[in-house]
Amino acid sequence: MFRRVDLDGFEVEAISRNVARVSYATSLMKKGVLISTTEHLLSAFIGTGIDNAIVELDNLELPILDGSARPFVDLIYQAGIRKQRRPRTYLRIRHALEMREGDKFIAVYPADSYSVSYTINFPHPLIGKETFSVELANGNYLREIASARTFGSRQDETTLRNMGLIRGASRENCVVLTKDDVENPPLRFADEFVRHKVLDLIGDLALLGKQILGNVVADRAGHAMHAALVSRLLRDHTLWEETAVEDEHDTVSPPLQPMAEQLA
């Protein structure tokens, strides 16, 4: 739940019915109150095994920080994690759901754990077609996903700014692509671009309200299709069941060394 302390503590739940805009980021709105760019923090919550938290902020947009979820992860561990007595309840996928839109595709299939496989295909010499798969267990989120930064093209900057988007974007909080190179190297991973798409997807699927047990497969999907998958799942209760399982599925793991040391 997000709480706007600048608006008398008005609360906006991080659930599908409050999704407002899903073009270049996922935003929530309730009774005209906006919470913008939620996906990185929600992704960090799922990656650290947290499904019950109140986020207080004094503005309409969450800080972009370095463009990844890793600063949020570090702050979560600094604040501390409390294990509650009530067993965690999951959405276990019982039947496959597949969605297509042109050459875009997203699906979720039954599985005993939460895993993601994502494919992107960008017409840029440093990207092209990239695929990354990860199971959200044993600290894999922290090692493989959390540090991947958002990215954007210098060629698209003027158009997006004229639309009122990416107003806070800079070389310090995103990977800036020129026509044939990266303006602010080095990359944190050779395939950092697709890893960030996995990060976004995990954050968007947090809007289901519970962690899932299922295998998510996406191909050039993006925020809008992520949100559409959440909406379809919540509308059709025959596709899933609520279940409580033991802690072996929990994604919580000890914090890594500071990011600067990890990336050195």
Give me the active site residues, please: 223
Torsion of CA 154, 155, 156, 159, to 10 degrees: 110
Task: Specify the DSSP element, H or E, that contains 98.
Answer: strand 97-101
| Whole-angstrom distance, CA of residue 76 vs CA of residue 66 | 16
- Determine the Cα–Cα distance for residues 143 and 212; give it in Å rounded to an integer: 20
**Per-position b or e across 211-241, b if 16+ CB within 10 A of its CB:** bbbbbbbbbbbbbbbbbbbbeebbeeeebbe
> Are 148 and 189 contacting, i.e. CB atoms less than 8 angstroms apart?
yes
- In the three-class reduction of DSSP (H, G, I as helix; E, B as strand; rest coil), residue 110 is classed as strand
CA torsion sign for 61, 11, 42, 260 is: positive
Q: Quick one: the chain helix, strand, coil %, rounded to 5?
A: 30, 30, 40
Q: Is the dihedral of CA 190, 196, 199, 205 positive or negative?
A: negative
Handedness of CA 110, 111, 113, 114 (dihedral sign): negative
Radius of gyration in angstroms for the set of CA atoms belonging to the chain, rounded to a whole number: 18
